[in-house]
């Protein structure tokens, strides 16, 4: 049985921590974050079955100190993407496996590239350690859906569309479903999609279409945008000629975002405010609703899945693999809305597979490089049932 250190105590952490307990392969869990009271609140939901600590994950010596004290076998990083590299450094220093849900981003540029974390490949290999990158839903489950389709349905995949619909309503004028700073950086970035061996750049939100989800979830406007799994999937599955990522946004969300952008509130550079340096987007985050608190009021469903095209036995083929998740059911089960739930469950599953050495190896891995079968099985067991439809 492994000792697990979870870092970060936000919306995703609440679900991941409770699911790690439910999976039951960890002998001890320590939840540490910048604000210890948030860890304690999660520990209360976990009926005291975990311990908590304070840690600044930007500070490698502090992380090393905590790891030397607790002696984890594995760390699950559900803090922010800014902390990925410092936590990986501490894992290397202490001989600990590493799992996260989002790729590293420097604070001052919204870049979304795996380059920084892929640079750790040799160091993790030499140390005999496993780093699992992007074990959330997207990235995460969407990578696994693609790998599973390649293993069981295709000889080669040529086209991929990942479609992320949140058909839910939280009843707030404007709120984001996960960390507002990271979410707004992501949706305001230039769009990139993969076509004929390269990324093609287009203005943010410049391409939209209507999409009707299965099982009566509804019809929504989806917008093409860049998402980090496009980079690893097109690298590891080089037969993919075209790959696009689409996300639904309501007119109301886009109206607020446009105004916030126009008035400069989404800027990520420092400005001087009454003699103090502040970053407008970080200030905005402080006044927006906490995504972790949206569970109570969220209604409706999410529908996230992949449309995958390619060839099997010389014939063209297309399948759609998706999960539908109900905000109210998530709240009833774990006190969270569906975005935290759909991220926290795969984070816990990826961590459990690495901890049990069902997934093993030395180095830095993206999800599609691993055997998708045990992960797909655990999705069904731990709350994210999936469906596959043959489209032709
Ligand atoms: P939250 O903002 O709710 O939680 C982040 C947590 O990290 C907070 O508890 C915060 O502490 C803590 N934290 C931030 N900085 C530090 C630090 N320096 N040291 C220690 N702790 C720190 O975010 P979410 O739960 O919404 O998201 C968590 C992660 O999940 C993010 O990386 C996000 O990008 C990723 N994500 C991935 C998805 C996927 O499908 N792959 C989807 C959604 C999210 P404090 O409470 O003090 O602020």
Q: Which residues contact 194 (CB under 8 A, 6 or more apart)?
A: 200, 230, 234, 240, 241, 242, 243, 244
* 342-381 confidence digits (pLDDT tens): 999 999 999 999 999 999 999 999 999 999 999 999 999 9
CB 45 within 8 A of CB 18: yes
Encode 259-270: b = buried (16+ Cβ within 10 Å), e = exposed: ebeeeeebbbee
**Domains of the chain, earliest start first:** 2-132 (3.40.50.720), 141-336+387-391 (3.30.360.10)
With 0-12 / 13-18 / 19 or more C-beta atoms within 10 angstroms meaning exposed / middle / buried, residue 26 is buried
Residue nearest to atom 4 of ligand 1 (CA): 10
How confident is the model at residue 391, as a pLDDT? 83
**Protein residue closest via CA to atom 41 of ligand 1:** 136
Ramachandran sector of residue 128 (left: φ over 0; alpha: ψ -120 to 50; beta: rest): left
3 state DSSP class of 306: strand
> pTM for the full model?
0.96
Q: Is 57 in the pocket of ligand 1 (CB under 6 A)?
A: yes
Distance 216 CA to ligand 1 centre (A): 32
Phi, psi of 372, deg, nearest 5: -75, -20
Give the E-state strand segments of 73-155 in sequence order.
74-77, 97-100, 130-133
> Does the Cβ of 35 fall within 6 Å of ligand 1?
yes
Residue 10 Cβ < 6 Å to ligand 1: yes
The torsion defined by the Cα of 64, 68, 72 and 73, in degrees rounded to 10, comes to 90
Question: Model ipTM?
Answer: 0.99
For residue 390, count CB atoms less than 10 angstroms from its CB and return exposed for 0-12, middle for 13-18, buried for 19 or more.
exposed
| pLDDT for the residue numbered 291 | 87
Q: Which atom of ligand 1 is nearest to the CA of 35?
A: 47
- What are 20-79's pLDDT values in tens digits? 999 999 999 999 999 999 999 999 999 999 999 999 999 999 999 999 999 999 999 999
pLDDT at 392: 67
Distance from the alpha carbon of residue 18 to the mean position of ligand 1, in angstroms: 16
Low-confidence ranges of the chain (pLDDT < 50): none
Give the pLDDT score at 109: 76
* Cα–Cα distance for residue pair 265/252, rounded to 1 Å: 17
Is the C-beta atom of 179 inside 6 A of ligand 1?
Answer: yes
66-100 burial: b if 16+ Cβ within 10 Å, else e: bbeebebbbbbbbbbbbbbbbbbebbbebebbbbb
Residue of 79, 165, 346 to test ligand 1 pocket, by largest number of atoms within 8 Å of CB: 79
How far lies 311's CA from each of 91, 197, 284, 318, in Å?
41, 19, 47, 8
Distance CA 148, CA 352 (A): 19
């Amino acid at each position: 049985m492994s000792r697990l250190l979870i870092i970060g105590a936000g919306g995703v952490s609440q679900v991941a921590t409770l699911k790690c307990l439910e999976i039951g392969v960890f002998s001890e869990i320590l939840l540490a974050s910048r604000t210890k009271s948030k860890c304690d609140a999660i520990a209360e939901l976990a009926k005291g079955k975990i311990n908590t600590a304070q840690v600044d994950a930007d500070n490698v010596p502090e992380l090393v100190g905590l790891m030397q004290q607790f002696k984890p076998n594995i760390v699950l990083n559900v803090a922010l993407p800014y902390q990925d590299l410092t936590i990986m450094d501490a894992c290397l220093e202490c001989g600990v496996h590493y799992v996260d849900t989002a790729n590293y981003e420097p604070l001052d540029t919204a870049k979304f590239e795996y380059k920084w974390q892929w640079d750790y490949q040799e160091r993790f290999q030499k140390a005999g350690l496993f780093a699992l990158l992007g074990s959330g839903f997207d990235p995460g489950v969407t990578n696994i859906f693609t790998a599973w389709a390649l293993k069981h349905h295709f000889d080669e995949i040529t086209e991929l569309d990942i479609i992320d619909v949140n058909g839910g309503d939280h009843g707030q004028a404007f709120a984001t479903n996960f960390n507002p700073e990271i979410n707004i950086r992501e949706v305001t970035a230039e769009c990139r999609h993969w076509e004929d061996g390269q990324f093609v750049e287009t203005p943010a939100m410049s391409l939209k279409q209507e999409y009707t989800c299965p099982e009566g979830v509804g019809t929504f406007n989806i917008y093409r945008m860049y998402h980090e799994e496009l980079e690893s999937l097109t690298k590891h599955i080089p037969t993919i000629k075209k790959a696009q990522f689409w996300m639904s946004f309501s007119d109301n969300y886009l109206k607020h975002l446009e105004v916030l952008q126009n008035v400069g509130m989404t800027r990520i550079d420092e400005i001087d405010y009454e003699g103090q340096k502040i970053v407008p987007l970080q200030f905005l985050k402080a006044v927006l609703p906490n995504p972790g608190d949206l569970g109570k009021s969220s209604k409706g469903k999410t529908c996230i899945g992949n449309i995958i095209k390619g060839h099997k036995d010389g014939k063209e083929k297309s399948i759609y693999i998706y999960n539908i998740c109900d905000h109210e059911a998530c709240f009833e089960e774990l006190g969270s809305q569906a975005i935290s739930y759909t991220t926290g469950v795969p984070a816990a599953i990826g961590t459990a597979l690495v901890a049990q050495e069902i997934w093993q190896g030395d180095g830095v891995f993206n999800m599609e490089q691993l055997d998708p079968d045990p992960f797909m099985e655990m999705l069904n067991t731990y709350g994210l049932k999936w469906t596959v439809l043959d489209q032709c």
